[in-house]
Amino acid sequence: MYLGHFSLREAPFSITPDTDFFFAHEGAQASLNMLLVALRSGEGFLKVVGELGCGKTVLCRQLLKTLQGECLTAYIPNPNMGPDELLLALATELKLPITSPPQRHQIMATLNQCLLEQAAQGRRVVVCIDEAQAIPVRTVESLRLLSNLETEKRKLLQLVLLGQPDLDDKLARPEIRQLLQRITFSEYLGPMQAQRVPGYLAHRLQRAALGESTDTQVFTPAAARAIAQASGGVPRLINILAHKCLMLAYGEDQHRVSAAHARLAARDTPGVLLRRPWWRSLWPGAGARGLRSAQGESE
């Protein structure tokens, strides 16, 4: 690996969600601010919809980290389960005593008692459900019933749904519109702006640095622009491209990542936006005609 070559203690561009590398670009910070303000204001149901690879999971973990000590929290990473399974998963996350075999009414009673005890202590209970677009329609009713747990003054349970755009399609279905009406605040988490990509690259290098002497300006401005263009600002793609760029530079015994490295990494990465030659915009059909001509000559 290239860690020693660039004076790094760990891989800076892992695609595993890690709050140590959380980068508060405009979209991520706006979503985090909305969630914190709404939760602290006592709102019951919140939603964040984000494109694939745009950092919903790390945002969720950053939220839970920020609320640590302030609230009792639970995290459900995969809600693709039946109604009873979801309630059991929630009870398990909250470390509630559940008899075996678990019974729905017993779980609900234990959960309600826990929420009342937390409310008496002035603490909120926040549940974050990641990949919420995977929740089966039949399970959505359980979420609605959970949102009914309240006193005359406040919600006993606050729910945060984080999912891909498919979540909005699911919530728009007529049979679950009652849940949609309970969502008081929503936010959209999209790709970061191109001008934030150089800062993002430097931030992750700084977080992974072995010491103060580590160079965090490894990516040249041209390389950062090429990565921003190819990735479309999607953090996961930026990480994949940046990792490959460091490998290429290391293989050449270079300490700077160039635009050429970024272009090579992009060609090797599915899902990125490859830059078209300048002449293709002036003569859109030239490539196809040239290909047919070449094929004809070869025949």
pLDDT tens digits along 247-292: 999 999 999 999 999 999 999 998 887 665 544 555 555 444 443 4
Looking at residue 276, its pLDDT comes to 57
Could you tell me which residue, 32 or 102, shows the higher pLDDT?
Answer: 32
Give the pTM: 0.85
Looking at residue 132, its pLDDT comes to 94
Domain range holding 257?
Answer: 193-275
Judge contact between 159 and 180, C-beta under 8 A. Answer: no
Question: pLDDT tens-digit profile of 47-94?
Answer: 999 999 999 999 999 999 999 989 999 999 999 999 989 999 999 999
Number of domains the chain is built from:
2
Question: pLDDT tens-digit profile of 100-131?
Answer: 787 888 888 899 899 999 988 988 999 999 99
Mean pLDDT over each residue of the chain, to the nearest integer: 88
Residue 153: pLDDT band by 50, 70, 90 thresholds? confident
Q: What is the CATH number of the domain that holds 252?
A: 1.10.8
Residue 141 lies in a domain: yes
Looking at residue 143, its pLDDT comes to 82
Residue 9 lies in a domain: no
Residue 74 lies in a domain: yes
Looking at residue 2, its pLDDT comes to 92
Could you tell me which residue, 243 or 99, shows the higher pLDDT?
Answer: 243
183 and 39 assigned to the same domain? yes
68 and 135 assigned to the same domain? yes
Q: Is the pLDDT of residue 97 over 80?
A: yes
Residue 268 lies in a domain: yes
100 and 72 assigned to the same domain? yes
132 and 82 assigned to the same domain? yes
Question: pLDDT tens-digit profile of 177-209?
Answer: 778 888 999 999 999 999 999 999 999 999 999
Residue 169 lies in a domain: yes
185 and 38 assigned to the same domain? yes
174 and 197 assigned to the same domain? no
Q: Is the pLDDT of residue 11 over 70?
A: yes
Q: What average pLDDT score do residues 227-251 get?
A: 96
Residue 47 lies in a domain: yes
122 and 219 assigned to the same domain? no
Looking at residue 152, its pLDDT comes to 65
Q: What is the CATH number of the domain that holds 152?
A: 3.40.50.300
Preceding peptide of 101 cis, ω within 30°? yes
Looking at residue 294, its pLDDT comes to 39
41 and 136 assigned to the same domain? yes
184 and 199 assigned to the same domain? no
Q: What average pLDDT score do residues 151-174 get?
A: 88
Looking at residue 282, its pLDDT comes to 58
Residue 1 lies in a domain: no
113 and 153 assigned to the same domain? yes
Looking at residue 293, its pLDDT comes to 41
82 and 146 assigned to the same domain? yes
206 and 107 assigned to the same domain? no
Looking at residue 298, its pLDDT comes to 39
Looking at residue 142, its pLDDT comes to 80
Residue 11 lies in a domain: no
Looking at residue 122, its pLDDT comes to 87
